[in-house]
Structure formats: C-alpha cells, structure tokens
Structure 1
Amino acid sequence: MARERSKEHSHVSTLPILGGVEMLRARFVTQSFSRHFHEGFAVGCIDHGAMRFNYLGQNVVASRGQVNLVVPGEVHDGHSADETGWAYRMFYLRPEALMEAATALMAKPRLPHFRMGVIDDPALASCILRTHTLMECPDISLIEKETQLLWLLTNWISRYAEDAGSWPKDTTEHGAVNRAREIIEDRFSEDLSLTELARLSGLSPYHLVRVFEKQLGVTPHAHLTQTRVKRARERLAGTDRMADIAMECGFSDQAHLTRLFKRQLGITPGKYRKIIQNS
C-alpha cells in the first residue's frame, strides 16, 4: 500500500487569463474526495485509469480518454474506480470565462449549463490534453494560451451545452484589427494577454481572433511571434549578446529565440549573424 501511495502526485498552477484559470495535473490511487462543490466550472480529461463520482443524482465513471466535468454549485465526490487509481488534467474556470466564450456563440449570451458529468468524446479529450500541456509551457505567450483556451471552451459549449447557440458569421473589422496589429508591434516585448489586446482594440477576445486571422491571414499570437523574430533579426546586425537580444525581444531565453527564429527563417540566429557579418 505504501508503494501505491508513493505513486500519487499533484501539481497546481494558475494563469492570469480569462479572470484567472487554475490547472491541476494529478495522479491518485487511494485519494477519496469528500462531497463538495465548486464556485466555477471544472473540466478535464482522464489520462490513466478511471475515476468514479456521484454527480447530479447518478453514480458515474470517467475512464481513460473521456472528459469529466462539473458545473458551479453541484455537489460531487470522487475516488478511484478500481485499485489502479487514475490520472487526469483539470481546468478550473471562473463563470466569467464561460460567459466570454458564450458571447462568441449566442445572440443573447448566458451562462451555459451541462447535464452530463462524463462526455465520451476522444477528440474533445485530446483537445483538453493539448491545451493543458500548452498552458504549462513557459515559452508560450499569454496571447497564444488564451486563444487556445477560448477555442477549447467555444467548442465544448457549442457541442454539449444546452441552448449553445451557433457559430457567428465571419465579419471584418478593419479598424480594430489595425489597432491590434499596431499594439502588438509596439508592445512586442511584453507578455500581453489576449483579453487586454481585445479591450484596447474594442472587440471581444474571440471576435478579435476571428477577424484578425480573416484580415491578415495569421492569428494575433502568430503575428506577435513574427514581430519578435523580425526585431531580433534587426538586432543581430549589431554586437549585442544573443541572450540580451532574446530577453529584450520578448523571448523567455536564448533557446526560445533560436527555436522560433529557425522555425520562421530556416537558420539559427547564430548562423544568420555570421551571414550578416560576412556580407
């Protein structure tokens, strides 16, 4: 039993986007959650094993590859479905985050409600896993993280919420997109959130992503990366240290700069600098 308990672990992290998002990555064997409720939404996917919980008057099991969720105020518990335990990744979201996504889908947005505690949808589970993993990566900008999370929430709501609404038609908001582009190019070294960029542009975050990509052919976070690489390339003509260029252009470190620089230009910053100096 001690050996089984030693396999248990959990990690909690938070991100300052969409009103604050908490993430849990955990592996449990003997853990048994007492009856409790959350003030916000919880949604995640099972990585390993299976979890059993009482929810909305039913005893349900979420197995590997399935989505488990609870809505605000609904009492539930949780424990392993068998002796092997379970592992999962969870998002804990304020109601405001779901309202933000619902605004993109509904003419008269309201807080969505979900009847099911378990969803058997491998594609949605895979999306949750990818998004959760991306959100833990320190090299990914807040704009990209928030964009991916909004995409996940809008798909979850549109497919499984009651009265979920429909996807909005594409529209063009040239002025807002131009403002957003100018802000990105002016504040490229900052870890600017999508929420703030949208507020300064006068659109909702989800709407901004859609019209930005429609007008410019790239998402806001892709344009941010492109701008950072461009500014770094300009700096490489000088004599500044590579690590200083990386930090001052918004990259987390020199390795981050090298990875994205090569992805866009096909060569490393070091090789690019040698070419510039030799010419």
Structure 2
Amino acid sequence: MDKTNSMRIVQMLQDYIEENLQNSITLKQLADYSNYSPWHIGHMFKEVVGKSPYEYIRLRRLTMAALVMRDENKKVIDVALDFVFDSQEGFTRAFTKEFGISPYKYHKQTPPIKLFLPNKVYDTFKAINYIYQNEGRIGEVMKTVFVQIIERPERKCLIKRGIKATEYFEYCEEVGCDIWNVLTSVKEALYEPIGMWMPENLRNNASEYVQGVELPLDYDKTIPDGYELIVLPPCTMMIFQGEPYDDEKFSVAIDEVWKHIDKFNPELYGYKWAPENGPRFQLAPMGYRGYIEARPVQKC
C-alpha cells in the first residue's frame, strides 16, 4: 500500500477514535471499520502515527479527561468511568505517569501540562470595512485576503524560546514540535496559542521565532520548566486572513498571504507598520478558515 493511502486510512481511523473515545474501542473494531486485518491496521497505524492504536487511544483519553477536569466540576471517578477506565485507581496511575501530577491535584490547580494532540496535516475576528484583493490571478480564481484591526491590551504571555530560530521549522529543530501540546492545556488562555516573531526589544538574546499563549495579567500559576512568563505591551494589530485551502497546501496558502502583506500599504487606511510595538504572530494553519497572521501597526 502506498504512503498516501496509508495516511488516508489512518486519518479515517483517527476520526473514528475521536468520535468514540468514551466508548469501547478494540483493534478488531478498527479493522472492521477500515476493512483491513487487525495486524495490518496495527502495523499501518504505528508506521504513520508512531504509536500503536492502543497507546494512541489511551493518550487521547487521558488528554480529553484532563480537559474535562480543567473545565468542568466533575469527580475524578466519574471522569475515569466516562473515558472507559476500569477504576479510579487505574486512571490515577495512568494520569500521574503521563502528566506528572495526580488527577485530583490537577483538577484543583490546573497547571500547564503536556497534552497529547492528534498529529493531523482560532479567534474569530470581527472584520472592519475593507478587503484587500490580489492583483494577480492563480488560474482564473481571484484570491481575497480579509484585513481586520484588533486591539490587544497589556497581557502576560507564556512562551518557549528557541536559540536562533527565525521561523517555525528552525524552531522545531531547536526545541521540538510539541510546544503546542503544553500551550493548549492552559485554562486561563485569552486566545488560542500562537507562533510569534519577537521584535528586537523582546528577544532577550534568544530566537526571533517563539511559540506562546496570551494570559491575563493576574496569571500566577507554576511555569513549566524551560518556559518563561513575559508581559506584552498593549498594541494594535492588523490581521490578514486568506481564503480557505486544502490542508496539504498550507505552505502555498501562507506564501499567498505573505505576498499580499508585502504589497499592502496600511497608510491608505490611516495606519503604519510598527514592528517594535509587539510581536507579529500567526495562528495555527487550518485550511477551513484560511491562513491568519497579524502585524503590529499604529495610527499615522
């Protein structure tokens, strides 16, 4: 079987697992669902995801259980049973081993933990009254980028710095590609996690590109090892949002938005670029909503 077809089947199984995390899931069920043998499914899943179906299901259940305890006032035993653990003791052992904290303590304190997020390849902004369109054409389709303004107040930001990284792939090589898993767990997050290009005055002799999540000024929980809590100044951000795209074409979608930004003149709308006022940031590329990136500006 070719790699593309294997990935398609595993993606289908991941979707099935997500829909049934609170039900019994066996390897035979996955095999019957995909019309392949249990051995073939186990081998294919491990090859594509890097984990066996059993391990993947266990980690997804633990992660979803953590999110329930973070957001809802439910007893540990009820959460354990909801996610198909045989007993509270077994759930507690598995949870503590995976996250380094007991479920009871996590429910009370909700510190940042490293969640297990599916490996598949975030604010809805209010648009203001202008749209910037591409002057060129790709095929016969006119590409549109929506341009919006938002105000970010002074806030804290939990970040993980790299060493010399100037973009995402360099950053992954320096610190790993699973920082999002920790940032997503933060209950007090004001918005979804972001990738940021830090201005010179905020780099602290470290990488230009970092990942982080914005938090209220009164956030005072334990900071995970290797992370840093900084204060970001209030700033005005100009948001650029491209058209929806096929997920596998994310690099093309990002490049299209960057080309728009390179040509865009904010002074036509009473603003100018202000790169030192705050970090430029990007939201996680998701095809259904288009690529979204923000640049700091100030009124002329």
Whether the TM-score (by the shorter chain) exceeds 0.5 is: no
TM-score (norm 2): 0.35
User: Which has a greater percent of helix?
Assistant: 1
**Normalising to structure 1: TM-score of the pair?**
0.37
